[in-house]
């Protein structure tokens, strides 16, 4: 499929410079940017839909400190500081846990 759109002079200059510097085509960068943007946008819509479904379910959320205490009740275990740390810990990928 062919798509036509207008770039500002600045966008065109930046795209040309990047293409010349790397030896990749301008189309490569436009496709890459579009693919990444669409993935981010799709993820945002999935998150919004999940949030709406959660709200409709009537289930209640709870404070992060409470969930953290339940997941990591052993005082000797390093306590994660973020949700990303919990996900990493549960998936067996402690790459983001800096407390060890």
20 and 55 in a common domain: yes
Is the separation of the CB atoms in 99 and 79 below 8 Å?
yes
Contacting residues for 97 by C-beta, under 8 A, at least 6 apart: 78, 80, 85, 88, 89
Low-confidence ranges of the chain (pLDDT < 70): 74-83, 86, 90-100
Q: Are residues 57 and 68 in the same domain?
A: no
**Does one domain contain both 90 and 54?**
no
State which residues form the domain around 25. 8-61
User: Residue 66: what pLDDT?
Assistant: 84
- Looking at the structure, do residues 13 and 52 belong to the same domain, yes or no? yes
- Rg value, the chain, Cα: 22
2 is a domain residue: no
38 and 66 share one domain: no
Question: What's the pLDDT score for residue 41?
Answer: 96
Does residue 92 form part of some domain? yes
> Domain total for the chain?
2
* pTM tops 0.85, yes or no: no
């Amino acid at each position: 499929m062919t798509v036509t759109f207008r770039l500002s002079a600045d966008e065109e200059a930046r795209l040309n410079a990047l293409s010349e510097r790397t030896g990749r085509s301008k189309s490569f960068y436009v496709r890459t940017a579009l693919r990444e943007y669409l993935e981010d946008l799709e993820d945002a819509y999935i998150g919004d839909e999940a949030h709406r479904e959660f709200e409709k379910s009537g289930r209640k959320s709870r404070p992060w400190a409470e969930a953290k205490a339940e997941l990591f009740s052993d005082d000797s275990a390093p306590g994660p500081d973020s949700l990303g740390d919990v996900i990493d810990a549960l998936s067996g990928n402690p790459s983001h846990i800096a407390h060890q």
